[in-house]
Amino acid sequence: MPDFIAQWLNQNEIFTAMTIMEYWDGLVTTVHLVFLSLVIGLVVAVPLAIMRTVRNPFISGPVWLYTYLFRGTPLLIQLYIIYYGLAQIEGIQETFWWEIFREPFYPALLAFTLNTAAYTTEIIRGAIVSTPHGEIEAAKAYGMNWFLRMRRIVLPSAARRAVQAYSNEVIFMLHASAIASVVTIVDLTGAARNIYSRFYAPFDAFLFVALLYMLLTFALVFAFRKLENHLLKHQRPIGS
Amino acid sequence: MLDLKGYGPALLEGAVVTIELAFLSLALAVTLGLIGASAKLSNSRAAKWTATAYTTLIRGVPDLVMMLLFYYGGQVVVNMISDYVWEAYEIDFFFQFDPFISGVITIGLIFGAYMTETFRGAFLAVESGQIEAARAYGFTRWHTFRRIMFPQMLRHALPGVGNNWQVLLKTTALVSIIGLTDMVRVAEEAAKAERMPFHFFIPVAFVYLTLTAASELFIKWLNKRANVGVVQEG
């Protein structure tokens, strides 16, 4: 370690091994929460997006309502409704669900998952709707049934078109997850708030955590750019 | 009828605070966006670099973290400046950094970065022939900007500005976390005191829903107006 860093670490009272461990635990919680909600959200969003494109209003209508409600209200309100609301459901405290939902992590996970699934549904729907007609006609001409067409033609081609918008959603979710700290979860932001209130040092506590979020964001941007390049390889001009 | 247990007036006041916060933040964001876009499109390297650093940094940090930084850090900075001014010029001034101001500054700065990108794209979408024609008529740079670039840019910027506004409106809920008594804060207090979370949060959610739905209609109408005389595709 260079001398000046060692010296700085020795002189400061805030960034001790203990607070760095707190930040680390916060980082683990944030990554855990965001990763799980994104994965579950994506799994839920794919069938919902397909339902949303169906002509029958009894199938597409409820999905439209769901995405409209979750995209039209702040995530913070959704989190509050789920976090405070679940405990008020009559009889829940006697069931095994209470063992799960008494921890703030799970209500937050539920709120984040429902929110990201709503946005992702609309992203995938947009990509499905813009599938070139020719691709679907060709699939029909080959005698593929609806299911095969979805699986082999529509979804893979929609996935390529959805990646860019989805990468924005992932970063949005990472940033939105900071509000988990208001329901007593010690995520990255929660750790920073604890350290702020212990040392009354806003710049040290929050600038450091901002830097960590920035590193996470740029890592994600980089990974998605690689993925996009990979998925859109066939569209690159010859010779590049 | 909806019984708000006497919290009705407080909730209404909170809703007004939310709307004020949203409009002031929007004004700041649009101003910063226009400055940022001009800087990005200017020939000055320093201006370009500053604007790029601004948009990149803002997009890397969560809005809540920035808000906490400005709220808690802002007062420290104000106190330092106040001390300095007192020592240097013997002028006594004090300025309380309240949640509302921190909220406007943070939301304005964040959405200013998004607006910068929106306006940059919109300026680039104005045909270069238009600018050349203005030059040929002997317009000055400022004149070209005000009469030619700016009005035509608006049409291209509108959808992006509309999207940013919708997100901004929902971001205002965060200011309740640093203690602003907006409608989210009032609902939270009421829900805790009465132990009725659904009863208070769902009406607030509907206020947000109404605001976003009304904005959607208004933006659609603006878009239609701005595109009068332009042949639409499809």
Chain A residues whose CB is inside 8 A of the B59 CB are 171, 217
Q: Is residue A231 over pLDDT 50? A: yes
pLDDT in tens, B53-66: 999 999 899 999 99
Number of CB atoms found within 10 A of residue A208's CB = 19
Q: Taking CB atoms and an 8 Å limit, are B208 and A177 in contact across chains? A: no
Residue predicted with more confidence, A87 or B47 = B47
Chain A residues whose CB is inside 8 A of the B208 CB are 72-74, 77
Structure tokens at A13: 């009272």
pLDDT at B211: 94
Collect all residues from B whose CB is shorter than 8 A from any CB in A: 57, 59-66, 68-69, 72-73, 76, 170-174, 176-177, 184, 187-188, 191-192, 195-198, 201-202, 204-205, 208-209, 212-213
Q: What mean pLDDT do residues A208-213 have? A: 93
Q: Is residue B234 over pLDDT 50? A: no
Residue A126's nearest CA partner among A59, A53, A30, A76 is A53
DSSP state of A182: G
Confidence of residue B232 (pLDDT cuts 50, 70, 90): low
Q: What is the overall mean pLDDT for chain B? A: 89
What whole-number distance in Å separates Cα of residue B55 and Cα of residue B114? 7
Structure tokens at A41: 């959200």
B35: Cα within 13 Å, side-chain hemisphere? 16
pLDDT at A202: 87
Confidence of residue B11 (pLDDT cuts 50, 70, 90): confident
What whole-number distance in Å separates Cα of residue B54 and Cα of residue B38? 13
| Of residues B69, B195, B204, nearest to A77 (C-beta) | B204
Give contacts of A 42-71 with B, CB under 8 A: 69
pLDDT at A9: 63
Confidence of residue A2 (pLDDT cuts 50, 70, 90): low
pLDDT in tens, A153-200: 999 999 999 998 999 999 999 999 999 999 989 999 999 999 898 888
Confidence of residue B164 (pLDDT cuts 50, 70, 90): very high
Confidence of residue B170 (pLDDT cuts 50, 70, 90): very high
pLDDT in tens, B179-198: 888 899 999 888 888 888 88
What whole-number distance in Å separates Cα of residue B184 and Cα of residue B181? 8
pLDDT in tens, B144-163: 888 888 888 988 999 999 99
What whole-number distance in Å separates Cα of residue B145 and Cα of residue A93? 64
The shortest C-alpha distance from B48 to chain A (Å) reads 20
pLDDT in tens, A59-99: 999 999 999 999 999 999 999 999 988 877 777 777 777 77
Residue B208's nearest CA partner among B9, B15, B25, B21 is B15
pLDDT in tens, B95-145: 777 889 999 999 999 999 999 999 999 999 988 888 899 989 999 988 888
Q: Is residue B5 over pLDDT 80? A: no
What whole-number distance in Å separates Cα of residue A83 and Cα of residue B161? 33
pLDDT at A78: 95
Residues near B110 by beta carbon (within 8 Å), at least 6 away in sequence: B29, B58, B63, B66, B171
Nearest residue in A to B214, CA atom:
A72
What whole-number distance in Å separates Cα of residue B222 and Cα of residue B79? 44
Q: Is residue A127 over pLDDT 90? A: yes
Residue B73 CA to chain centroid, in angstroms?
A: 21
Chain B contact for A90 (CB, 8 A cutoff): no
A166: Cα within 13 Å, side-chain hemisphere? 25
Q: Is residue A21 over pLDDT 60? A: yes
The shortest C-alpha distance from A129 to chain B (Å) reads 15
Nearest residue in B to A65, CA atom:
B209
Torsion over CA of A52, A54, A57 and A63, rounded to 10 degrees?
A: -20
What whole-number distance in Å separates Cα of residue A233 and Cα of residue A184? 45
Asked if A69 and A83 count as a contact pair (C-beta separation under 8 A), the reply is no
Rounded to two decimals, the ipTM of the complex is 0.88
Q: Taking the domain B20-181, which CATH number applies?
A: 1.10.3720.10
Backbone angles phi, psi at A96, to 5 degrees: -70, -20
Of A8-17, A91-100, B85-94, give the lowest mean pLDDT range.
A8-17
pLDDT at B31: 96
Nearest residue in B to A190, CA atom:
B65
pLDDT at B91: 79
The letter for the amino acid at A72 is G
Q: Is residue A123 over pLDDT 50? A: yes
Q: pTM to 2 decimals? A: 0.89
